[in-house]
A and B are shown apart, each in its own frame.
Chain A
């Protein structure tokens, strides 16, 4: 099992550009999450999904969109990138809701200049 994989690992965007962060899991997990981690801070939830076709906002959803057409993939879309979106983005998945274990990917480091 590869677990949770994320691409790209690093990316630099110019203000106003758009991009999609990819996330895939091969554990047949129902729940998937997107977090962002700013320097010296914990993780903040952006969006989450409880199954294919079902997504909902987390704590900091503004400027992002998600879709989940299959169990395996949960891409995060950034429209009109802003410097405030400079962060490390983590995707995670779990089979069930809490207190089940969430498995995290290695992260995508995004810089918006």
Chain B
């Protein structure tokens, strides 16, 4: 497997524009996480899905942020409208949860978002 694949790797956009970040989890994994990483706040959990269903989106900073997982192999994180303070590296991670047993989460390479 190629691992967790995120696109684009880099995104530069103007304030007010819509931004869509994409993630393809590892095949067979049923849990997907979106994180935002900044120097000030570290790795923040934004939202996670189990079996394509959003379980906890309490980390989503504002209504401008939304995430979807239409199927087991694809997820998007959308920011509309984007603001300069959204500039960060956004990571997607996936893992397999089977019953009460957790397995390791694998991270993608991240999307570096710059909003000017």
Q: Do chains A and B interact in one complex?
A: no
Q: Which residues of B contact A (CB under 8 A)?
A: none
Q: Which residues of A contact B (CB under 8 A)?
A: none
